[in-house]
Amino acid sequence: MTADLQNGKQKEKTKTPSKCCCCSYKVCSLLLFILSFIMTVTAVVLQSQFDAFFDRALKDQMHLGPSGLVFPAWRVSDLRMRMRVYFFNITNPVEVQLGDKPILNELGPYTWRIYMEKFDIKFHENSTLSYREKKWYQFLREESIGGYNDIITTVNVPYAAVAQRLKDGGTVAKSTATFTLNGLGQTVMHAKQVGELTFEGYPDFLILVANAVEAGKKEDSGFGTILGTGLRIFTNVLAAEPDVQGSFGYFVDRNNTDDGIVTIFTGEDNRQKINRVNVVNGHTELTTWPQHKCNKIKGTMGHLRPPMSSRENPLLIFVPDICRSLPLRYENVSVYEGLSTLRFVAGRETFNNSGPDPCFAGSRKFKSGVMDIGPCKKGAPLVISFPHYLFADEAHQNSVIGLNPRKEAHQFYLESDPLTGVTVSVRARFQVGVVMERVHGLGNLGTIFDGTIPLFWQELQLEALPPTVFQLSILRQLPIYAKQTALVLIGTAILISLIAVFLVYRYVHSTYVL
């Protein structure tokens, strides 16, 4: 009897664990099936809906409002910025004054680091904001071919300006001007230091006299009128603002300054308007050009373009220094620091004087490839083109000796991230030249070379820093990561389902045995 009792207890011990184990099989398999289902649904949602969700979320954040994703980087430029200037040294100045072609020797680069910061930012109710942008320039000797003391033989631009004003003047005015210019030691060609030609400037007696002449004198007041109406605009060639101290330089009074108040669209109500210029210094359009369409302020300032916009849509960049917008067309897919980008370029059509916008041709008629910016500079005898007359008519390239246009070195281009529209790389390249015309009766200008002489060309280089490139790369990879995650979830769900099936099999088998 004792033996039977012990056998009964042993059977009870054997049966009890089997029930617990079967219960565990049922619960575990059910939980695993539920988990597998959740993972499968999540994977399907990621595969089918993440792209649309991501696009909506990104567009919601891509604006220049206070909470916008790109606003902090826009306010304080998160870019590596350089300005490089290449001067054209005239190696045969005497011969040029006798009518020979200028022989040019390019000297450069002379490099400055640029700092930019937007300030006085004000938001308006119509989804616009206004701001000023201050710029600082620091000379970088280590990135330059030489220093501020390098000597450049070039055209005396204020002298050339006076000559242009006197071209149609009378004999008395020309004789008076010749006597005065000679007395002031002025010559049409001179040698100046790099520092003098750029930010430091140099004292110019013509400018000093011009500042002493009252504006609005009668035409019969002789040489004073020429100075009063002509020279005051040449003390800063690019900015067209007189220097009250009587100094001349291409960038005098440009350091630690701003270009005025600019109003742009934030893109909060319409992402296609982001960064589009609305008002410049209180004006919605210019008064520079003869036709209304050329006076329209169009495009952006170049920082951003609409997110996920078509590459086929040309970019318009408003350039205040030349009083117009430049069209940039899509060229190809490029790569910047491992990041795939869209490259937009300024091409042959930009300065096509017989193209769709002939009103940009100005009063002086040039063959294609050169733009008269005199109307933008109050009549200054200045022209702009791409460096070395890239894309210009051969007549321009053959008018001087020493130029070698190369697309890879001289083309204007901009690269932007196709997803966010953020600009990651820019090479803004322009050449500035002066128009020389023979003026009989004014010194030796009666025999001088008749044509345009390149003065210098300038490259503005903007490059996104590594943290920005990394952030853009992460944003670009998020949809890919989501799809990869979905595949992992599906694979894991299948594995979990197989485990659940195995547990069910064990449960059924255990029940059958018992």
Whether residue 85 is found in the same domain as residue 41: no
pLDDT band for position 34 (cuts 50, 70, 90): confident
| pLDDT for residue 7 | 54
| pLDDT for residue 482 | 82
Would you put residue 114 in left (φ > 0), alpha (ψ -120 to 50) or beta? beta
- Greater pLDDT, 5 or 386: 386
| pLDDT for residue 221 | 38
**65 touches 266 (CB < 8 A):** yes
Answer whether residue 465 shows pLDDT above 60: yes
Whether residue 47 is found in the same domain as residue 181: no
Q: Which of 121, 147, 146 lies closest to 134, judged by CA?
A: 121
Answer whether residue 500 shows pLDDT above 50: yes
| pLDDT for residue 308 | 81
Residues 384-401: tens digit of each pLDDT = 999 999 999 999 999 999
Whether residue 203 is found in the same domain as residue 158: yes
Average pLDDT over residues 496-514: 71
In single-letter form, the type of residue at position 157 comes to: V
- Greater pLDDT, 441 or 421: 421
Max mean pLDDT range (62-66, 139-143, 218-222): 139-143
d(CA 374, CA 353): 15
Whether residue 46 is found in the same domain as residue 120: no
Answer whether residue 239 shows pLDDT above 90: no
Answer whether residue 341 is part of any domain.
yes
pLDDT band for position 494 (cuts 50, 70, 90): confident
Answer whether residue 66 is part of any domain.
no
Q: Residue 315 is inside which H or E element, if any?
A: strand 315-319
Answer whether residue 372 shows pLDDT above 60: yes
Whether residue 115 is found in the same domain as residue 260: yes
The structure tokens 């630690």 sit at 256
Answer whether residue 250 is part of any domain.
yes
Whether residue 269 is found in the same domain as residue 292: yes
Answer whether residue 229 shows pLDDT above 50: no
Answer whether residue 236 shows pLDDT above 50: no
Answer whether residue 2 shows pLDDT above 70: no
Answer whether residue 114 shows pLDDT above 70: yes
pLDDT band for position 370 (cuts 50, 70, 90): very high
| pLDDT for residue 328 | 95
Secondary structure class of 422 (helix, strand, coil): strand
d(CA 470, CA 337): 10
In single-letter form, the type of residue at position 90 comes to: I
| pLDDT for residue 15 | 46
| pLDDT for residue 4 | 54
pLDDT band for position 215 (cuts 50, 70, 90): very low
Q: Which of 222, 224, 219, 257 lies closest to 238, judged by CA?
A: 257
pLDDT band for position 192 (cuts 50, 70, 90): very high
First to last CA, the chain: 26
| pLDDT for residue 397 | 93
Domain range enclosing 85: 79-464
pLDDT band for position 207 (cuts 50, 70, 90): low
pLDDT band for position 6 (cuts 50, 70, 90): low
**358 touches 365 (CB < 8 A):** no
Whether residue 86 is found in the same domain as residue 207: yes
Answer whether residue 67 is part of any domain.
no
| pLDDT for residue 8 | 53
Residue 505 neighbours by CB under 8 Å, 6+ apart: none
DSSP assignments along 157-197, one per residue:
HHHHHHHHHHTT--HHHHHHHHHHHHHTT--SEEEEEHHHH
Whether residue 481 is found in the same domain as residue 406: no
Residues 332-342: tens digit of each pLDDT = 999 999 999 99
Residue 78, judged by CB atoms within 10 A of its CB (0-12, 13-18, 19+), counts as: middle
Whether residue 14 is found in the same domain as residue 96: no
| pLDDT for residue 355 | 66
| pLDDT for residue 332 | 95
The whole-chain average pLDDT of the chain stands at 83
d(CA 509, CA 514): 9
**HSE toward the beta carbon, residue 485, CA cutoff 13 A:** 15
| Structural domains of the chain, count | 2
Answer whether residue 73 is part of any domain.
no
Of all residues in the chain, the percent with pLDDT exceeding 70 is 84
Average pLDDT over residues 116-134: 94
Q: How far is CA 485 from the centre of its chain?
A: 37
Whether residue 21 is found in the same domain as residue 97: no
| pLDDT for residue 317 | 93
Q: Which residues sit opposite 342 in a β-bridge?
A: 333, 416
Residues 290-309: tens digit of each pLDDT = 888 889 999 998 888 888 88
| pLDDT for residue 246 | 67
Answer whether residue 511 shows pLDDT above 80: no
In single-letter form, the type of residue at position 398 comes to: N
d(CA 235, CA 203): 10
Whether residue 255 is found in the same domain as residue 110: yes
Whether residue 501 is found in the same domain as residue 446: no
Using the 3D structure, point to which of 440, 464, 488 is the last residue of a domain. Answer: 464
| pLDDT for residue 362 | 67
Answer whether residue 418 shows pLDDT above 60: yes
DSSP assignments along 93-145, one per residue:
HHHHHTTPPPBEEEEEEEEEEEEEEEEEEEEETTTEEEEEEEEEEEE-GGGSS
pTM of the entire structure? 0.83
Max mean pLDDT range (193-207, 365-379, 419-433): 419-433
| pLDDT for residue 228 | 38
